[in-house]
């Protein structure tokens, strides 16, 4: 019987201790605390873009056809007018030859009837009809020759074959890109910026560039061009970011760009989790006080405080809702990686 009493007593003591801890936690909530510090803050407009040559072109057929031969390889230097690819043109060649023969025959008819008209042996109507038929044939021949010429695809500019798609024997449709031709330097980044952010962007601004191809690396560029007309559907404006040559960035890479709008070297920074609706909970000793602040750059980890807080003051990080002015708290210092403590 004594054992049961001890067990019951033990349960009672544990319950009492738990109730005491709950009361302490209610009266004196535990909060994580971090000190406001000085550091760089960067306000930037974020977007994603693609590395492209400044001078380049997509090359596509103007008519459907089957590839019979490639005349240029990837990485090869080409000049404007050089043949890149040939499409099957046998039927068109036969058509042109047929129309040339018919044009020659109709031409002879026009000359013969012209002679007869001069001697009064043929009517003006007969001559005009023959001439009209020849003109129609000449137009048909010009159209056929144009389609024949389209079966041979040439380079529109001087440069390097950046990429070639398709295989011999494959049928390509009108407008399907077969070659990319351009110059490997200089390069720029093409990206679209949301229309609400475009007023912050100006030519000449510094741009920080990151890519998964070079983790941990930051490349720099400058805004070199802003397209005057935006996309009304996507509600974006296209900008070009110039990159210094040479660069390790490669054509076609997808990159993250941050257009630097404002940069402060000695900003007052606190963990973003400490700011709620432009208010922070300042900890003085073991007392909490809510304070209005003016925020600047808001980052994923850190937030810039423009007014209302000084470096060195301590704030509660993600404070419990029951913490109000004058609340006594128990403190737990916030520890974090210094490298991650920036906006």
Residue 104, Cβ neighbours under 10 Å: how many? 12
Share of the chain above pLDDT 90, in %: 64
* Interval 146-176: pLDDT, tens: 999 999 999 999 999 999 999 999 999 999 9
pLDDT at 309 over 80: yes
Higher-confidence position of 5 and 153:
153
Phi and psi for 26 in degrees, rounded to 5?
Answer: -75, -45
- pLDDT at position 21 is 38
- pLDDT at position 331 is 77
pLDDT at 20 over 70: no
pLDDT at 208 over 80: yes
Q: Is 297 helix (H, G, I), strand (E, B) or coil?
A: strand
First vs last Cα of the chain: how many Å apart? 65
Please choose, from the candidates 276, 288, 313, the residue with its C-alpha nearest in 3D space to the C-alpha of residue 27: 288
Topology classification of domain 90-149: Helix Hairpins (1.10.287)
Please choose, from the candidates 17, 2, 176, the residue with its C-alpha nearest in 3D space to the C-alpha of residue 85: 176
* Interval 46-61: pLDDT, tens: 999 999 999 999 999 9
Q: 258 has which bridge partners?
A: 46, 208
pLDDT at 336 over 70: no
Confidence band of 91 (pLDDT split at 50, 70, 90): very high
Query: What average pLDDT does this structure show over 57-72?
Result: 95
- Would the CA dihedral through 194, 197, 201, 207 be positive or negative? negative
Query: What average pLDDT does this structure show over 297-311?
Result: 90
Q: What is the dihedral of CA 173, 175, 176, 179, to 10 degrees?
A: 130
Mean pLDDT across the chain: 87
In the chain, what are the domain boundaries? 28-40+264-340, 45-55+183-263, 56-88+151-181, 90-149
Query: What average pLDDT does this structure show over 119-131?
Result: 85
Q: Do the first three CATH levels of 28-40+264-340 and 90-149 match, i.e. the same topology?
A: no
d(CA 64, CA 176): 9
Please choose, from the candidates 102, 97, 139, 143, the residue with its C-alpha nearest in 3D space to the C-alpha of residue 110: 102
- pLDDT at position 335 is 53
Asked if 160 and 220 count as a contact pair (C-beta separation under 8 A), the reply is no
Long-range CB contacts (within 8 A, 24+) of 333-342:
333/32, 333/33, 333/34, 334/32, 334/33, 334/34, 334/271, 336/34, 336/271, 336/301, 340/301, 341/37, 341/39, 341/269, 341/271, 341/301, 341/302, 342/39, 342/40, 342/41, 342/269, 342/299, 342/301, 342/302
- pLDDT at position 26 is 53
Domain 28-40+264-340 sits in CATH at 2.40.420.20
Q: Is 156 helix (H, G, I), strand (E, B) or coil?
A: coil
Please choose, from the candidates 296, 281, 264, 277, the residue with its C-alpha nearest in 3D space to the C-alpha of residue 34: 281
pLDDT at 343 over 60: no
d(CA 36, CA 315): 7
| CATH 3.40.50.300 correct for 45-55+183-263 | no
Q: Indicate the CATH number of 56-88+151-181 among 2.40.50.100, 3.90.1480.20, 3.50.50.60, 2.40.50.140.
A: 2.40.50.100
């Amino acid at each position: 019987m004594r054992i049961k009493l001890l067990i019951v007593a033990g349960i009672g003591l544990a319950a009492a201790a738990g109730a005491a801890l709950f009361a302490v936690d209610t009266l004196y909530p535990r909060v994580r605390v971090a000190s406001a510090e000085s550091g760089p803050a960067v306000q930037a407009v974020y977007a994603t873009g693609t590395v492209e040559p400044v001078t380049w072109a997509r090359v596509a057929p103007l008519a459907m056809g089957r590839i019979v031969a490639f005349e240029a390889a990837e990485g090869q230097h080409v000049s404007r007018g050089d043949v890149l690819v040939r499409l099957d043109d046998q039927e068109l060649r036969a058509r042109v030859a047929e129309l040339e023969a018919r044009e020659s025959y109709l031409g002879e008819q026009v000359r013969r009837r012209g002679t007869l008209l001069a001697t009064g042996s043929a009517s003006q109507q007969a001559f005009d009809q023959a001439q009209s038929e020849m003109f129609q044939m000449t137009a048909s021949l010009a159209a056929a020759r144009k389609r024949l010429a389209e079966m041979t695809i040439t380079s529109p500019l001087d440069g390097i074959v950046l990429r070639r798609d398709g295989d011999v024997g494959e049928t390509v449709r009108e407008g399907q890109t077969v070659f990319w031709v351009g110059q490997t330097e200089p390069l720029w980044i093409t990206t679209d910026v949301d229309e609400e952010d475009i007023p912050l962007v100006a030519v000449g601004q510094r741009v920080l560039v990151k890519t998964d191809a070079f983790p941990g690396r930051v490349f720099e560029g400058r805004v070199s061009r802003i397209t005057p007309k935006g996309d009304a559907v996507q509600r974006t404006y296209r900008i070009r970011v110039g990159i210094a040559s040479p660069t390790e960035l490669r054509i076609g890479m997808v990159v993250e760009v941050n257009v630097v709008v404002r940069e402060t070297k000695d900003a007052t920074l606190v963990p973003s989790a400490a700011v709620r609706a432009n208010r922070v909970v300042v900890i003085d000793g073991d007392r909490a006080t809510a304070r209005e602040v003016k925020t600047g750059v808001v980052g994923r980890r850190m937030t810039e405080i423009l007014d209302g807080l000084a470096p060195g003051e301590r704030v509660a990080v993600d404070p419990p809702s029951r913490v109000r002015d004058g609340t006594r708290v128990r403190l737990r210092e916030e520890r974090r990686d210094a490298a991650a403590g920036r906006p």
